């Protein structure tokens, strides 16, 4: 593990040059560009990223949660696969490695999760689940959750709650989707369940299922109270609905269990997986029971749900390798241990603006507020924190309804030494900000 090594101003001159080039050729709505952000990556290994200016960073978000076992972990396997077969015809003439991967996957899942639909990203997997609910129940209605995130394809976007994503496309969002409050504490649990039951009572004729993240990711690393998923499962069984768990982010060990539903000892009807399993390649999964998946019927040679890159050999080879690596040792237990250590260290941070440190395993969040009494989100501090950490060689993200939560999901291979270093850097950023904030408040008062 290399600690950060920063050789230039951040962003460096080459990153600034590439930002100018990108601005000329990419739609302006895609990549955020400023004089302080981003850096352009050139190579990666383990916990580290090197940019085009040869600055070395610690990746504290596993590149959106993808590099769970570290950057480059599946590189050798992918290279070997590329020499033999780069692309297959997934639903016509499938590659052998697709079968090998799916067989290995279902071995580690509960017995009734044994039929798979492969795709390329989380949005695809959630849309596979939506279609499966439709063909099985013959009902289009779905209950999702406020500030939940399930992707930005039109079907997934209809589930995603944040107005920032939805508003430009509302005319094309067909639904019917109902957004219930996601409980963040025991006090909110009963109210949330009551509202869900009301939605069910009022829409029984059209409701087919409920989709939920076991822990909300982009919503702010919101950990629901214990028993929430179990109660949702009971509601689904009582009302003949399918329970879909979106574990794109939480799956494959991230929360200290192989799958987050294990924390509540339940099994969903449909499970969506992705991120870590691809090892850096686009790979996602929707998996359900034989009974539920049989509703699709047999292909007659013209599949009604497929894609060009379904079961891509490179992605499947990477996925098979990741499964084998996860099985070599008790990664969930190791992740739980390191997550507890990281969370305990984060709770030693001193800042009047930290409302809460929360999470499970190596999926952690630091919520920032202007005032602990009003709980007003402190988005400016979160943005400042992100930029100053980047200057120190730490890559972090923000999340939450107002972008006021620092999101941390480092590779599972992070060490206690690295965690100690990171927390020390975090404290420096908070202390620097507090000095600046107090000074600006005094200047404003004197004026």
Cα–Cα distance list, 214 to 320, 417, 429, 440 (Å): 25, 30, 31, 41
The per-residue DSSP string of 113-125 comes to: --EEEEESSHHHH
Contact between 153 and 307 (Cβ < 8 Å):
no
Return the pLDDT at 174: 81
User: What order of strands is seen across the sheet that includes strand 207-212?
Assistant: 115-119, 284-288, 270-273, 242-247, 207-212, 141-145, 177-180
Tens place of pLDDT per residue across the chain (447 aa): 689 999 999 999 999 999 999 999 999 999 999 999 999 999 999 999 999 999 999 999 999 999 999 999 999 999 999 999 999 998 999 999 999 999 999 999 999 999 999 999 999 999 999 999 999 999 999 999 999 999 999 999 999 999 999 999 999 998 899 999 999 999 999 999 999 999 999 999 999 999 999 999 999 999 999 999 999 999 999 999 999 999 999 999 999 999 999 999 999 999 999 999 999 999 999 999 999 999 999 999 899 999 999 999 999 999 999 999 999 999 999 999 999 999 999 999 999 999 999 999 999 999 999 999 999 999 999 999 999 999 999 999 999 999 999 999 999 999 999 999 999 999 999 999 999 988 775 444 332
Helix intervals (H) in 185-330: 186-202, 228-238, 290-293, 313-328
Q: Which residue, 250, 9, 264, 278, is CA-closest to 121? A: 278
Pairing of strands 270-273, 48-51: unpaired
Considering the domain 330-447, what is its CATH architecture? Alpha-Beta Complex (3.90)
Handedness of CA 291, 292, 293, 295 (dihedral sign): positive
- What is the spatial distance between Cα 112 and Cα 235, in angstroms, rounded to a whole number? 19
pLDDT value for 446? 37
> Environment class of residue 337 by beta-carbon count within 10 Å: exposed (0-12), middle (13-18) or buried (19+)?
middle
Can you give the pLDDT at residue 1? 64
Domains 75-328 and 330-447 share a fold: no
Residues in the chain: 447
Strand order from edge to edge, sheet including 394-395: 41-45, 48-51, 56-59, 394-395
Nearest Cα residue to 384 out of 429, 440, 435: 429
pLDDT of residue 447: 29
| Distance separating alpha carbons of residues 333 and 351, to the nearest angstrom | 31
d(CA 9, CA 91): 49
- Name the 3-class secondary structure at 36: coil
208 Cα distance to chain centroid = 25
CATH class entry, domain 75-328:
alpha beta
Q: What is the DSSP letter of 376?
A: -
Beta strands in 102-254 (DSSP E): 115-119, 141-145, 177-180, 207-212, 242-247
- Cα–Cα distance for residue pair 311/237, rounded to 1 Å: 32
CA 293 to chain centre: 25
Ranges of each domain in the chain: 1-59, 75-328, 330-447
Report the distance separating Cα 388 and Cα 403, nearest Å: 16
């Amino acid at each position: 593990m290399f600690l950060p090594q920063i050789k230039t101003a951040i962003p460096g001159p080459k990153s600034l040059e590439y930002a100018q080039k990108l601005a000329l050729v990419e739609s302006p709505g895609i990549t955020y560009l400023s004089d302080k952000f981003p850096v352009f990556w050139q190579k990666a290994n383990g916990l580290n990223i090197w940019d085009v200016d040869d600055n070395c960073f610690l990746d504290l978000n596993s590149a959106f949660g993808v590099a769970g076992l570290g950057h480059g972990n599946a590189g050798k396997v992918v290279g070997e696969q590329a020499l033999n077969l780069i692309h297959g015809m997934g639903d016509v003439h499938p590659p052998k490695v697709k079968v090998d991967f799916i067989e290995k996957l279902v071995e580690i899942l509960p017995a009734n999760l044994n039929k798979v639909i492969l795709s390329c990203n989380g949005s695809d997997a959630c849309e596979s689940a939506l279609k499966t609910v439709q063909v099985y129940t013959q009902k289009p209605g779905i209950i999702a959750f406020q500030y939940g995130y399930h992707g930005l394809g039109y079907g997934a976007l209809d589930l995603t709650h944040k107005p920032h994503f939805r508003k430009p496309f509302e005319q094309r969002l067909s639904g019917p989707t109902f957004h219930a409050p996601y409980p963040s504490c025991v006090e909110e649990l009963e109210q949330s369940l009551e509202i869900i039951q009301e939605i069910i009572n009022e829409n029984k004729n059209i409701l087919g299922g409920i989709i939920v993240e076991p822990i909300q990711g982009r919503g702010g690393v919101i950990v629901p109270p214990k028993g929430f998923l179990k109660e949702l499962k009971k509601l689904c069984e009582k009302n003949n609905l399918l329970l879909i768990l979106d574990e794109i982010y939480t799956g494959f060990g991230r929360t200290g269990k192989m799958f987050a539903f294990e924390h509540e000892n339940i099994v969903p009807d449909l499970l969506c997986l992705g991120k870590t399993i691809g090892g850096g390649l686009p790979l996602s999964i929707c998996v359900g029971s034989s009974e539920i998946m049989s509703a699709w019927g047999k292909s007659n040679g013209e599949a009604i749900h497929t894609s060009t890159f379904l079961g891509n050999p490179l992605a499947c080879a990477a996925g098979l390798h990741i499964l084998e690596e996860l099985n070599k040792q008790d990664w969930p237990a190791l992740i739980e241990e390191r997550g507890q250590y990281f969370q305990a260290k984060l709770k030693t941070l001193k800042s009047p603006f930290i409302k809460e440190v929360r999470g499970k395993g190596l999926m952690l969040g630091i919520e920032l507020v202007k005032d602990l009494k009003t709980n007003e989100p402190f988005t400016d501090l979160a943005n400042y924190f992100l930029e100053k950490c980047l200057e120190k060689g730490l890559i972090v993200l923000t999340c939450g309804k107002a972008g006021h939560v620092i999101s941390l999901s480092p590779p599972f291979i992070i060490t206690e030494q690295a965690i100690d270093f990171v927390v020390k850097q975090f404290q420096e950023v908070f202390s620097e900000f507090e000095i600046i904030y107090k000074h600006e408040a005094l200047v404003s008062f004197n004026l």
